[in-house]
Amino acid sequence: MEESLKVKKATYQLWTFTISKIISTLGANVLAFGISLYILKMTGSATSFAMNMVCSILPRVLLASIVGLMADRYSKKMIILLSQGCTVVLMAGLLVYGYLSGITVTSIYIVTALYSITSTFNSVTFTSSIACLVDRTRIQKAMSFNQMAMSIAAIGGPAIGGMMYGFVSIEGFLIVHMVAYLIALLLEATMNFHLYSEVKNEAKDEVRIWQSLKDGFQYAQTKKAVATILWVAFWINLFFTAMNVGGIFILVEVLKIKSRHVGIIESAGAIGMLVASVFLSTRKPSTYPLLQSKRYILWMATALGLATIPLWVEFTYMMNFLFFITLFFSFSAFAVFINTPVGVMIQTEVEESYRGRIFGILEAVSMAMMPLGTMVFGLLFDRVDPQWVLLGSSMILIVITSYMMRSSVIQQIYPQLTSSKSHIKEKVQHL
């Protein structure tokens, strides 16, 4: 294919990818909002709500690495289209079941778990495919658009879901989700997943699955930058859960912020993600992505500590409201500045034949810490003053990040940093 035609096709795929992501993610968020309210309405139990979260998270943790392996070995396009199609069938199946027997909490748990499986196939495979869909100069733009789609869905999902909840039944939420995924499937069917692929023939050898997974872990260890990311992701996803668990607890229980204002504060986080994604989509990729991520992890850890200020110093209601809007906005923006450069680095520096496994391992490591962190910090916030929990988490994160991404590690990954500093020093001495 001529280069000019490839560039045009890549442009088409960039926007098709973005539109399909916005549509499908928005549909998923609308459904998640409706399901949450439906379960609480049926049971009035926070435990039932938490169980649905477990059904959503656990399959991702268990299957992400295996899904990454399949993305490396088989047709990415086929996996994505099949996963989208299975999601549509799942929603249709629950609709039929509800019509025949009535939708129950158990049926929601089962569909949530199955949907988590199909969405894991879709998200891991799609993420590992970005470098095959667009040229290298637009990988960061594609990664930023992916984050932008998530933020738009985070803002629009609850808004649309809230408007729908008073007028339609749970079946209406299922239909919206089903239609969204069907449209996304049709868009993705037009995409060429081999446009910039370096592997012309999909690997279909008979290597055993566990050996292939082991190869993926061993490959990650040979890439110092990737190994560092995996270890840092393991710890930061554990301790940043303190904000996920404690943020709402502090707002509602400690500071007595009204529920409608809590919603605005949470929306500020989604807006922060959107603004940061749009900003990065216009910028060139970072020369030293791991160094950039380190800086913003430290900023995030600092923001976690700053969240305790209203707990030490008495603010007015409005000051608390504005303070946490700024905090949530900054927290989410920092997360984008961490995740996007790392994602671009994996897309460009990891061989295509291992890319799916690396993204799968990264997702498994990140997701595994969420239920553990939720349980640990839930217990801590019940027994310890929240300011000490957040402040302790902030300090631990700063120590862990500073050690695991210390100067010697950064220089080992980017030896050119040392040479450039030496060159500048020589110039200064010469002058």
- The three state secondary structure string of 141-154 is HHHHHHHHHHHHHH
DSSP assignment letter at 208: -
Residue 116 pLDDT: 87
- CA separation for the pair 6, 203 (Å, rounded): 24
Distance of CA 284 to the CA centre of its chain: 22
Average pLDDT over residues 364-375: 74
Average pLDDT, the chain: 82
Residue 395 pLDDT: 93
One-letter amino acid for residue 54 of the chain: V
pLDDT band at 47 (very low <50, low <70, confident <90, very high): low
Say what the pTM is. 0.76
Average pLDDT over residues 282-303: 88
Structural tokens at position 306: 């700053």
Residue 321 pLDDT: 92
Residue 322 pLDDT: 93
What's the pLDDT tens digit per position in 336-346?
898 888 888 88
Residue 203 pLDDT: 47
Residue 22 pLDDT: 87
What's the pLDDT tens digit per position in 416-431?
776 555 554 444 344 4
Residue among 79, 347, 342 nearest 198 (CA): 347
At residue 323, does pLDDT exceed 70?
yes
| Residues constituting the chain | 431
At residue 87, does pLDDT exceed 80?
yes
What's the pLDDT tens digit per position in 230-264?
888 878 877 887 887 777 778 877 888 886 787 78
Residue 241 pLDDT: 79
What's the pLDDT tens digit per position in 177-208?
888 889 989 999 999 888 887 765 444 554 56
Residue among 359, 360, 341 nearest 413 (CA): 341
At residue 175, does pLDDT exceed 90?
no
Residue 422 pLDDT: 52
More confident residue, 6 or 422: 6
Q: Taking a C-beta distance cutoff of 8 angstroms, is the pair 39, 105 a contact?
A: yes
Residue 431 pLDDT: 42
**Relative orientation angle of helices 224-239 and 209-222, to the nearest 10 degrees:** 100
Q: Taking a C-beta distance cutoff of 8 angstroms, is the pair 125, 80 a contact?
A: yes
Average pLDDT over residues 213-233: 80
For CA atoms 127, 128, 129, 131, the dihedral sign is: positive
Residue among 12, 268, 285 nearest 151 (CA): 268
Extended strands (E) in 91-207 = none
Residue among 25, 51, 38 nearest 171 (CA): 38
Q: Taking a C-beta distance cutoff of 8 angstroms, is the pair 262, 158 a contact?
A: no
Q: Taking a C-beta distance cutoff of 8 angstroms, is the pair 360, 64 a contact?
A: yes
- Cβ neighbours for 315, distance < 8 A, ≥ 6 positions apart: 323
Q: How many CB atoms lie within 10 A of CB 254?
A: 16
Largest interatomic CA distance in the chain: 85
Which of 281-290, 306-315, 393-402 shows the lowest mean pLDDT across its residues? 281-290
- Cβ neighbours for 312, distance < 8 A, ≥ 6 positions apart: 387
> Coil, helix or strand for 191?
coil
Share of the chain above pLDDT 70, in %: 90
- CA separation for the pair 75, 290 (Å, rounded): 30
pLDDT band at 79 (very low <50, low <70, confident <90, very high): very high
At residue 361, does pLDDT exceed 60?
yes
What's the pLDDT tens digit per position in 386-418?
889 899 989 999 999 999 888 888 888 888 776
Could you give the domains of the chain? 1-193 (1.20.1250.20), 213-415 (1.20.1250.20)
Burial letters 8-41, b for 16+ CB under 10 A, else e: ebbebbbebbbebbbbbbbbbbbbbbbbebbbee
Alpha carbon separation from 412 to 143, 362, 389, 406, 408 (Å, rounded): 26, 21, 34, 10, 6
